[in-house]
Structure 1
């Protein structure tokens, strides 16, 4: 039995979030929560739930109970709802350390799929930064290490391959979040063997559909999607509009769920990692990864509906 610093057993930690994770669904009434869709990482065959968690901004907090309590609920809700992927970075302030603490409290290191990044220049600086990430995330090895924004990628990629061969990381990849870098991202995807690409993609930010997502599928590279709500402006713009009729057909009770369903319905997408510090939002995000997903025709209709 694992007991966290707040005195909760792992079972209590997860059980406390179960009702939130299913959000009034079948499990809250004594049934079984809908299972998250899963997609394989082509290079290894390991499957991941299509909804995960990003830690940018939301997890950059201190150690007080008031700061940590909502995030403890977010992690518990993710795990209780069947999610695994938690993505962080050294550029996210204190997020790696907070993530490591909360995953350890949950006794979930063997369950969570921990991803972070190297974000510095130079071989020795990169190694030092990755070693620090291991300490902060309380892990002897990480599930995924990514070269953040392609910074000094020619130096870091050989090191990541060495670490993977030595068992210190299980997967390696690259990440970016700006369209202006897509030519460089495409060039690396074509030239190098990678396990994962992390890229921005949303209903109002579909440039990755043109070349990067098809190329990732062609090259056997899994795709993590950051910023699946775009810059947030789309959600604000849609807030006063009623949901379209097809939302009910998809089981979507909010615009956020509908937008996430669009993202994860793309066949090249492995997992979307929206950031949140709100357990209720985490629960809604998880619901988007269950049930029906838009087919090609509905995806085209959704894109047309959302075009200003």
Structure 2
């Protein structure tokens, strides 16, 4: 017999409020009074909304899957209505790039989107070919952020990315990883290269990045996107079986996901969190982490003790 509840079930406990929140009127009213906070990209000063969306799994959908397509469309509508913009994808995410491109064109919202994707192959020419394919799938003539995925052949690809940035094909460049086993190499790359962005794993249950990587990114003036903010999902599944801490309301948090995302945003090196989802209710819930009182040291200590 299954015990506990899933995130979807947890959110449905407030069904009437959630249904109202999903209406276009409610979305507009909510975000006009409480837009997402923004943080500057160190290399340019451009202000970036602190909550975005990752497209791994959730956006790996086909256009003829009407229900999934409608859900992902609502995810992007919720993101934009809240003043958000960051959409992170990759050629390794199945059909996600194609779905993002199709949805942005359908919504006529390419201008509002800050689109990030990745190069994930060996060799300079293969990298160029893959990135051109990504641009075609995303239906973009320029990519906001191109990242070397998991540091695969990063030396070769950074040569191309610097040239493309100079030519205006991309606006920013960076590197990514999702596991602490790569931190030694990441540290070397951060020290040796001038990067605009780093995408890295970080959560209240996975805090190794605090030791070297996040402080170094801040020192080097590199913006930080956070992936795996829910600890790969296992942490969130465990916490959803517990009541919220009494102090959660002090920070305008009404769910565990909001607490976990606010924890990531409480680190001064972090620019934006990009939890992955293709579920519009989850997107609405995640967006609340970018509103209300910002997390302080007391918040961090309390949450660490709570998990």
Q: Same fold (TM over 0.5)?
A: yes
Q: Which structure is higher in helix share? A: 2
The equivalent residue for 1:86 is 87
SS of the aligned residue for 1:232 comes to helix
Aligned-pair Cα RMSD in Å: 1.9
How far apart are 1:90 and its partner, in Å?
Answer: 0.3
SS of the aligned residue for 1:51 comes to coil
The equivalent residue for 1:45 is 45
Please give the residue correspondences for 1:199-278 in structure 2 after superposition, counting only pairs within 5 Å: 199-278=200-279
**2-side partners of 1:46 and 1:67: how far apart?**
33
**Paired residues, number:** 288
The equivalent residue for 1:55 is 55
**1-side partners of 2:25 and 2:48: how far apart?**
22
Query: Does the Cα contact within 8 Å between 1:18 and 1:80 map onto a contact in 2?
Result: no
TM-score of the two chains, using structure 2 as the length reference: 0.90
The equivalent residue for 1:301 is 302
**2-side partners of 1:280 and 1:115: how far apart?**
23
Question: Unaligned 5+ residue runs, structure 2?
Answer: 1-18
How far apart are 1:187 and its partner, in Å?
Answer: 0.6
Evaluate the alpha carbon distance shift between residue 129 and residue 18 of structure 1 in structure 2; reply closer, same or farther with a 3 A threshold. farther
Query: Does the Cα contact within 8 Å between 2:115 and 2:144 map onto a contact in 1?
Result: yes
The equivalent residue for 1:7 is none
SS of the aligned residue for 1:170 comes to strand
**1-side partners of 2:201 and 2:104: how far apart?**
25
For residues 198-227 of structure 1, the C-alpha deviation after alignment (integer angstroms, 9 at most, x for no partner) is 000111111111111100000000000011
**2-side partners of 1:33 and 1:285: how far apart?**
17
For residues 129-169 of structure 1, the C-alpha deviation after alignment (integer angstroms, 9 at most, x for no partner) is 01011101111110000000000001110100000000000
How far apart are 1:37 and its partner, in Å?
Answer: 1.0
For residues 161-200 of structure 1, the C-alpha deviation after alignment (integer angstroms, 9 at most, x for no partner) is 0000000000000000011001001110010000000000
Please give the residue correspondences for 1:85-124 in structure 2 after superposition, counting only pairs within 5 Å: 85-124=86-125
How far apart are 1:297 and its partner, in Å?
Answer: 2.6
Evaluate the alpha carbon distance shift between residue 23 and residue 278 of structure 1 in structure 2; reply closer, same or farther with a 3 A threshold. farther
**1-side partners of 2:268 and 2:116: how far apart?**
22
TM-score of the two chains, using structure 1 as the length reference: 0.90
Compare 60-69 and 191-200 and name the one that shifted more. Answer: 60-69
How far apart are 1:67 and its partner, in Å?
Answer: 2.7
How far apart are 1:107 and its partner, in Å?
Answer: 1.1
**2-side partners of 1:249 and 1:110: how far apart?**
35
Query: Does the Cα contact within 8 Å between 1:19 and 1:27 map onto a contact in 2?
Result: no
For residues 15-59 of structure 1, the C-alpha deviation after alignment (integer angstroms, 9 at most, x for no partner) is xx994389979925xx94312111111001111110000000111
Question: Unaligned 5+ residue runs, structure 1?
Answer: 1-16
The equivalent residue for 1:192 is 193
